[in-house]
Amino acid sequence: MTSWNFEEINANLSQESSQINNAADLEAFRIKYLGRKGLVSEIYAGLGSASKEEKPLIGKNANDLKNKIQAIVDDKKDSFQAKSQGEKAKESIDVTMPGVNTPLGQAHILSQTMNEICAIFEQLGFAIFEGPEIETEFNNFTALNIPADHPSRDAFDTFYLDTKDPSNKERNLLLRSHTSPAQIRAMQNNKPPLAVIVPGKVYRPDAVDASHSFMFHQIEGLLVDEKVTLSELKGLLTVFCQKLFGKNIKMRFRPHFFPFTEPSAEVDISCYICKGKGCSVCGRKGWLEILGCGMVHPKVFEAVKYPKNKYTGLAFGMGVERIAMLKHGINDIRLFFENDKRFLKQFK
């Protein structure tokens, strides 16, 4: 019969078990020793042919060996299981942990201001109308009764594009210098009665400083019907200013000139800083200019081919940056476009 060297087997066992690194290694190890054709079975199978003296000793050694191997297998199994559970635990979410706040975004202060202004006019029955930022000379100037030699048509005051106007091959397209060309589009596309409010970007080649930007925002208003009067214009803008700046705001309509309105006026509000006494913000005048307005000029109705003497209309236009600056005491227009969060997050 085969005589077993248990000392050597035990030594091999310790050496092999130290090299078990994963479940597959462990299974191979288990089969080698405890499997049906494994070493332990082989030892037991040989017992029958062992001598009477040898039998108890081999039997005892075989039992010890079997227990030892089983202990190694159990032990390794436990440690692999614990390890994989630990890894799973790391991946899973601990629902008892306090959550991490996702910081909430907010609309830009200019969007907020535009929304606020538009909402006031929407409540008063105006509809939002939008025109393109790329315009024709006709819509931006000619149809608005701005003469061919008017300085605002100059390249120093308007951005002209290299592209020709498809409807007039002699003229280039331009970036609108005010939202008033949208008046022309609104009237060309709609019959009176008509009440629209036009928010949007406008462009002028100004050098950037604390009060100038080559791009800024305007809101245009236009109301056309058969008997619109100047007192309606005054009433409408008074309601608007009170809603935007508060009931106690003082206003004045100062005569002015715009080619596309007649009569025309500029609207001032009492200075929010000094309440009309005079300070550095209002240039010691006590008043701040906030918008231009007037009654639609008959030449404009003519340009959009409305029937003669049938309609009257009121129009107004305001700069959004200027209004936001006045409302919130912001002293530099560049702050709106630098997107410094420390500035923006103040306007929740």
Interface ranges with ligand PHE (CB under 6 A): 178, 180, 220, 258, 261, 292-294, 315-317
Tokens of 208: 């950037």
Task: Please state the closest distance from residue 213 (CB atom) to ligand PHE, in A.
Answer: 14
- As given in the structure block, the two tokens for residue 15 are 């050496």
| DSSP SS3 for 151 | helix
263/286 with CB nearer ligand PHE: 263
Of the pair 142, 261, the CB lying nearest ligand PHE is at: 261
Closer to ligand PHE by CB, 200 or 292: give it. 292
Residue (13 or 237) nearer to ligand PHE, CB: 237
H helix intervals, the chain: 6-17, 23-34, 39-46, 54-91, 109-123, 137-140, 181-189, 230-245, 298-303, 320-328, 335-338, 341-344
What is the Cβ-side half-sphere exposure of residue 38, based on CA atoms within 13 angstroms?
Answer: 17
Shortest Å distance, C-beta 291 to ligand PHE: 7
Nearest-CB residue to ligand PHE?
A: 317
Shortest distance in whole angstroms from residue 343 CB to ligand PHE: 26
Q: Nearest distance from residue 290's CB to ligand PHE, in Å?
A: 11
- Whole-angstrom distance, CA of residue 240 vs CA of residue 242: 5
C-beta neighbour count of 228 within 10 angstroms:
20
Q: Most distant CA pair in the chain: distance in Å?
A: 135
Our measurement of the distance from residue 247's CA atom to the centroid of its chain's CA atoms, rounded to an integer in Å, reads 33
Q: How far is CA 155 from CA 41, 92, 101, 136, 166, in A?
A: 102, 64, 51, 14, 20
Lay out the sheet containing 168-175: strands in order across: 134-135, 168-175, 160-165
Query: Phi and psi (nearest 5°) for 339?
Result: 55, 40
- Decide whether 13 or 181 has the Cβ nearer to ligand PHE: 181
At 35, list the tokens: 């499997």
Least Å distance between CB 131 and ligand PHE?
Answer: 12
Residue linked to tokens 């209309």: 313
Least Å distance between CB 98 and ligand PHE? 53
Measured from the CB of residue 182, what is the shortest distance to ligand PHE in angstroms? 10
> Do 198 and 127 contact (CB within 8 A), yes or no?
no
Q: Smaller CB distance to ligand PHE: residue 30 or 178?
A: 178
Paired sense of beta strands 194-203 and 127-128, if any: parallel
How near is the Cβ of 180 to ligand PHE at its closest, in Å? Answer: 4
Name the residue nearer to ligand PHE (CB basis): 194 or 293.
293
- Nearer to ligand PHE by Cβ, of 68 and 256: the residue is 256
